[in-house]
A and B are shown apart, each in its own frame.
Chain A
Amino acid sequence: MPDFSPAADSYLDRLANALRDVREPVRGEIWSGIAEELDGLGETDARDRIAELGDPSFIAREARNAVDVGTMGDTSSSAYTAVVARPPLSESRGLAIFGAIALGVGGFVVPLFGWVVGVALVWTSSLWRTREKLIATVGPPVVLVLAALVSHAINGWAGMSGTENPLVPVISDIAISSVVGALLLNVIAMVWLLVRLGRRA
């Protein structure tokens, strides 16, 4: 039974993620070879060995460069195969779906905190592209702030002109609209993320 220190465990997770684009059996062999080396090491020794191994993304890039076009042979198993087959948490569809739902409705359940948890989970998941994560998590607050600024500017302009216009919102209206808008935009972001995830599957 493999025995990995927390540092080794975290490094192997990052390595598995970085190696996603490397074809089998090379991907599994790299992972197993490194896992062999970290197995049984204490936290300090594991950290030293990890420093020697280098960044997982560098290892993956080197592997991609070195892999030739063609069929690789021998897929012999090793003691670590079962561990290799287990995808890291960041690739879990369950985590991705839960993250999207927390982003969309978490704010209803626990105001603000629920939404923050959703943002964290969406960014943890590797099933969405960075652009999608940005749109879904940064987009709604940006739209809201812009809308609030525009409303506030109109309000200020109306105040300066000395005319009362019932159509121009006052501060309290803006605040209420912002909260409602935030909740609505987050739900839209949730639906958008889930639809994209579904299409990709």
Chain B
Amino acid sequence: MTPPADVSAQLRKGVAEYCILGLLSREPMYGWQLSETLVRAGLIASIGTLYPVLSRLRERGLVVSFEESTGAGPVRKYYRLTAAGEELLADFRDQWPTFSLTVGALIHGETPDDLPTDPPLEGTPDA
């Protein structure tokens, strides 16, 4: 099997959707706002990457779009989370600490026996 040419691209692809859900959990945002934030964070290469992801999220019922006038500016299309999107984001937030801890341990050569079996989740009293 050929390893991926760009590891970071593969990683970004896996988490970009959840990062968008995370951003939208704070407030509805329009395309350029999302794109600017994600490009600056290095999670997408350009606005061209954003819209296919937004389309998939909308297709799955995780986000919805609506149009709103911005004062004297143009009418913009905003995106916001649906209840299903909030639920999926909550699941991801629960799983991410365990997942990243496990991957972190494995890539540093630790054996599965060294891994914590039930790592505390972020935000819990034991964390």
Residues of A that sit less than 8 Å from B by CB: 2, 25-26, 29-30, 32-34, 36-37, 39-40, 52-54, 58-63, 65-68, 70-74, 76, 78-79
Contact = CB atoms under 8 A, between A and B. Distances in A.
Interface string B42-58: 00111111111111101
B96 interface: no
A78 B54 CA distance: 16
B54 A29 contact: yes
Nearest to A24: B55
Interface stretch (B74-82, B87-95, B104-112, B114-122): B74-82
Contacts of A54: 46
Contact of A73 (B32, B35, B58): B58
26 contacts: A26-B51, A30-B48, A30-B51, A33-B32, A33-B51, A36-B32, A36-B74, A36-B77, A39-B74, A52-B36, A54-B46, A59-B46, A59-B47, A59-B48, A61-B48, A62-B44, A62-B46, A62-B49, A63-B48, A66-B49, A67-B55, A68-B52, A71-B59, A73-B59, A74-B65, A79-B67
Contacts, number: 86
Looking at chain A's contact residues, the main secondary structure is helix
B48 A29 contact: no
Contacts of B75: 36, 78-79
A29 B67 contact: no
Interface in B4-55: 30-32, 35-36, 44-55
